[in-house]
Structure 1
Amino acid sequence: MDKTAECKLVLDTAVLAGKIMLQSGAEIHRVEDTIHRILKVSGMKTAEAFVMPTGLIVTLDDPHMDSMTVVKRIKTRGTNLSRIAEVNDISRRFCSGNISLEEAFHSLKHMKQYTYTALQKYIAQIMVAFFFAVLLGGTRWDAVGAGAAGIGMVLILYLGRKIGLNDFFQLLLASAVIAVVAYLAAENPYQTIQMDIVIIAAIMPIVPGAAITTAVRDTMQGDYVAGGAKALEAFVSAAAIAAGVSFGMILTGVM
């Protein structure tokens, strides 16, 4: 492999690693550090990476050859700590010489996208709602109500993804359904169920806690643009949840 082709593959490997980490919810400084570590292997005089929550720009330049720049737009983001750890492991093994450049690129290219299936995630969300009701001091019937609200929530999230609804409206509708189910559970004549505990427990799986944590860590690292963007994203998600619960309570006549 000639020098130009090797540098191009190094650049593609670094960009792919950065893309996977951004899509998985990694902090900006962690993404930039991983990209820089991979780019150093090329031996080029200039290796720069500019990373934002919605995209990245990576450049390699040297007096003896033409510069190469890649711009990658990141359209989908989530939280997947397993993929972040796997990318980190691959980059460290490559930089230490334990695997070749081709092996590193192949490993990133064919990395398993999801650690768990969608069904497993939905079941976990329902179980989180169920057990949070217990954690909040609710009775077993409160937990059952929260589990039922969790089922309604995951159904809305599933249908929203199927029809391509954006994240804001998915969260808004899911929260509204949670409030409606909580009201119906509380109104049943057979068991006493606390509506507030059901609602709080059921929204826990969709509260943007990881996004808030990432925003704080990026801000503490001096990445104010990235930190502000993450904080705004978390605020919009929280606003959608609050608006959805309020809308559901208005529909049921509680408010």
Structure 2
Amino acid sequence: MDNQTIKQLLNTGILAGKIMMESGSEMYRIQDTIERILRKGGLSQPEVFLTPTGIFVTARDIFYIKMAEVHHSAINLEKVTKVNALSRQFSDNQISLDELQNGLRDINSNTSDFPLWLKLLGAFVISCTLMILFIGKYDWFDFFQAGFIGLFGYLVFNYLNNVVEIQFISEFIASVLIALAAIGLRQLNLINNLNYLIIGSVMPLVPGVALTNALRDLIAGHLISGLARMVAGTLSALAIGGGIAVVLRFLL
């Protein structure tokens, strides 16, 4: 295998892994995808080392090592699905290495996120339905109020996350505003139970996917990434709970 092909293979594996990591995939899935690409490309003993902020790829029978820094992480499972599909097509000889690399670049550049209106609709549905689920009884009087406050809180979080780019601050401020809005509705006698309303409204902010992936990474043996993601998820939960607690402590 010539040096140019080896470099292209490493670059393609790195690109696939970086897209998946930035889209919120589990570490073991990223490692499996990169190793599958490298083995199919002709590297018999690939070596892949992953951290939450970096990817290192090489093989025992070559003298090259490729690394990439991961600056941010979000949840976009559509990208993860598309990368998995492309890597399997490459493994089944349906596409060439050039087609795989071009396809990954297209996924990285042209795969759009869900529109904001759809995210807000999801936040509305999650807030009012999970309120019913967690309290264990039907509270129809607070049903729509929980949905609208959850929608409002997620809108604030989404805006601040794009401006501040520090997720914990965005979650704290959004949870503070959710608690203030809930207290305001209670002062106007528009809700029955303040606690039920807040429980449902903060659900769109809870990092459920991140915590689930952290646990799966720990089970799969990726201790560094699992612990790092678990700490990040815990800090998010503390930010959300802290914002609610501050408002309730000083206004009630």
**TM-score of the superposition, structure 1-length normalised?**
0.89
Residues of 2 paired with 1:224 and 1:60: CA distance?
22
Residues of 1 paired with 2:124 and 2:44: CA distance?
52
Report SS of the residue matched to 1:140.
Answer: coil
1:207 matched to 2:176? The reply is no
1:75 to partner: Cα distance:
1.6
Deviations 1:96-138 (A, max 9, x none): 1111111111111111433422332122112211222343434
Per the alignment, residue 127 of structure 2 pairs with 129
Report SS of the residue matched to 2:41.
Answer: coil
Report SS of the residue matched to 2:152.
Answer: helix
Moved more, 194-203 or 118-127: 118-127
Per the alignment, residue 24 of structure 1 pairs with 23
Report SS of the residue matched to 1:76.
Answer: coil
Per the alignment, residue 119 of structure 1 pairs with 117
Report SS of the residue matched to 1:58.
Answer: strand
Per the alignment, residue 139 of structure 1 pairs with 139
Per the alignment, residue 176 of structure 2 pairs with 176
1:180 to partner: Cα distance:
0.8
Gap regions ≥5 residues in structure 2: none
Per the alignment, residue 234 of structure 1 pairs with 233
Among all aligned residue pairs of Structure 1 and Structure 2, give the percentage whose two residues are the same amino acid. 29
Report SS of the residue matched to 1:71.
Answer: strand
Report SS of the residue matched to 2:64.
Answer: strand
Per the alignment, residue 151 of structure 2 pairs with 151
Letter in 1 for 2:123: Q
Per the alignment, residue 11 of structure 1 pairs with 10
Residues of 2 paired with 1:157 and 1:194: CA distance?
24
Per the alignment, residue 222 of structure 2 pairs with 223
Letter in 2 for 1:159: Y
Identify which of 68, 75, 78 aligns with 1:72: 68
- The answer to whether the 8 Å contact 1:18/1:31 transfers is yes
Per the alignment, residue 166 of structure 2 pairs with 166
- The answer to whether the 8 Å contact 1:138/1:197 transfers is no
- The answer to whether the 8 Å contact 1:53/1:229 transfers is yes
1:193 to partner: Cα distance:
2.3
**TM-score of the superposition, structure 2-length normalised?**
0.90
- The answer to whether the 8 Å contact 2:56/2:66 transfers is yes
Per the alignment, residue 92 of structure 1 pairs with 88
Residues of 2 paired with 1:37 and 1:218: CA distance?
19
Residues of 1 paired with 2:158 and 2:38: CA distance?
39
- Evaluate the alpha carbon distance shift between residue 118 and residue 220 of structure 1 in structure 2; reply closer, same or farther with a 3 A threshold: same
Deviations 1:146-174 (A, max 9, x none): 12312321232233134234100000001
- The answer to whether the 8 Å contact 1:149/1:177 transfers is no
1:6 to partner: Cα distance:
1.8
